Structure 1
């Protein structure tokens, strides 16, 4: 298989942070697709002005805000239409370390059917509520997947093989908003898609804008984990039967 990867950057009202981040993205010299998810007119105009200096970057826009997951699905479609086999998701706010991109791509090329995900390493800039919240999510994801191998299910720094991404999207309902990153990773594990992790430094920048709404998005995540646990309980007899058969066969 010819390996051909592009960057996909979901963007929503992050024009100041993204403008500062753009030179680092451009320095990667990778094809790049930016998906604006219905930003306010002033923010969209600022984004278009910032991208005017980077004509090689493709901009795709949503007329209304549809959510991060919807932006990634749009980005995947644009990547497929562009002839790419993989897409590297990276957030627009600059919290991810672009110096790690070569390592992500190297591991992805060695494991072309696997999802390559960041395993965030936080410094003192990380809000404690976010750090502890991730630990709670990791606990539930371990139950929902039946494995402790998922080191982080919330990181938005990942390489997706498009064929496997489309398979999961076609077979399951995947959350379109802040539930997307966890939802697609758990259901990819259910489908037997390998997931590999790379430790990566994540920095919460001063005056950065978060689009995570604590009440609304936490309720959405609670509902997500409720559904995933129900789905895992349905699959549990099949998983146990497979393990018993492997043990008997051994």
Structure 2
């Protein structure tokens, strides 16, 4: 990736033993990997304590502040260290490290763009989660005037680091479960081109170590409030969004199925 330094950033909160598998698979790619523990209390930091290497860093935050807050902390540190792009992936085994090289390939050709994973669900995906995200996707595409975001909630994405930081600094929100959809909308508002990349996703069972921090009532209430806020922002920006036109890289995204 000429003139670019990508980083794999993995936020983690009480992920349990599956974290080790996730981190090892990411490290096998040879790209720098940072894990940011968001106040974990389950002993999971000890699981990766013995992993070493100049490409590996562990950051432990003292209190749980939310996924977005953990990403923001890691992002600021990454920019200080000279990284230009940050790929986020979940610690719970949902996102395959084997998909990372394709994110990097697309970003190398279009470093100005954000590459958003479009989830390809298998039989392990809960129907409630698959169908429920359609509501968020509808509102996110309305709020961006159809800029071309296929999925607003999928957490495996590659961001231009400086654009993501400026989006974070433009709002006091996007610090918890609202991180993924809110920064996606705000990046589109900034005119950051989006490329959608079909990406497999799996939901590990409890027997396989799967852990979910999703809380249906709490997190859907948060998303509802978020979309109400963003809708007001959309109306305020509507003339500029109309004048700007469409996503210049929309043709690079395969048609959604």
Do they fold alike, i.e. is TM over 0.5? Answer: yes
Q: Is residue 8–residue 34 contact of structure 1 (8 Å, CA) maintained in 2?
A: yes
Corresponding residue of 2:5 = 4
Match of 1:214 in 2: 216
- Which residue of the partner structure matches residue 102 of structure 2? 103
Structure 1, 174-183 or 164-173: larger mean CA deviation:
164-173
Tell me the matched-pair count.
240
TM-score calculated relative to the size of structure 1: 0.91
Q: TM-score, normalised on structure 2?
A: 0.89
Q: Compared with structure 1, are the counterparts of its residues 228 and 23 closer, same or farther at alpha carbon in structure 2 (3 Å cutoff)?
A: same
What is the aligned-residue RMSD (CA, Å)?
Answer: 1.5
| Cα pair 2:10 2:36 within 8 Å, conserved | yes
1:53 Cα deviation from its structure 2 partner: 2.7
Secondary structure, counterpart of 2:60 in structure 1: strand
Gapped regions of structure 2 (runs ≥ 5): 246-257
How far did 1:148 drift? 6.0
Cα deviation digits, residues 29-74 of structure 1 (max 9, x gap): 111111000011x42xx42342313344211111110000001101
Where does residue 227 of structure 2 map in the other structure? 225
Structure ID, larger Rg: 1
Residues 99-151 of structure 1: CA deviation (Å, up to 9, x unaligned):
11110001011111111110000011100010001111111111111106110
Q: CA deviation at 1:237?
A: 3.3
What is the Cα deviation at residue 213 of structure 1? 1.1
Query: How far does residue 241 in structure 1 lie from its aligned partner after superposition?
Result: 5.4
SS at match of 2:58: strand
Alignment of 1:51-200 (within 5 A): 51-56=49-54, 57-147=56-146, 149-200=148-199
Q: C-alpha separation between the residues in 1 aligned to 2:146 and 2:23?
A: 37
Secondary structure of residue in 2 paired with 1:87: strand
Distance in 2 (alpha carbons) for counterparts of 1:163 and 1:49: 31
Q: Does the Cα contact within 8 Å between 1:10 and 1:35 map onto a contact in 2?
A: yes
Distance 2:50 2:244 in 1: 55
Q: Distance in 2 between matches of 1:235 and 1:23?
A: 43
SS where residue 119 of structure 1 aligns? strand
The 3-state SS of whatever aligns with 1:205 is coil
Q: Whole-Å Cα distance in 2 between the matches of residues 15 and 58 of structure 1?
A: 18
Q: Contact (CA 8 Å) 2:189, 2:241: kept in 1 or not?
A: no
CA–CA distance in 1 between the matches of 2:242 and 2:191?
A: 15
- Which position in structure 2 is the counterpart of 1:29? 30
Higher helix share: 1
Q: Taking structure 1 as reference, are residues 190 and 15 closer, same or farther at Cα in structure 2, changes over 3 Å only?
A: same
The equivalent residue for 1:50 is 48
- 1:228 deviates by 0.8
C-alpha distance after superposition, 1:143-168 (max 9, x if no partner): 11110611001111011111111221
CA distance in structure 1 between the aligned counterparts of 2:241 and 2:27, rounded to whole angstroms: 45
SS at match of 2:17: helix
Q: Distance in 2 between matches of 1:5 and 1:148?
A: 25
Partners in 1 of 2:10 and 2:192 — Cα distance?
23
Q: Which ranges in structure 1 are unaligned for 5 or more consecutive residues?
A: 244-250
Residue 209 of structure 1: how far off its partner (Å) = 1.1
Distance in structure 2 (CA, Å) of the matches to 1:222 and 1:159: 25
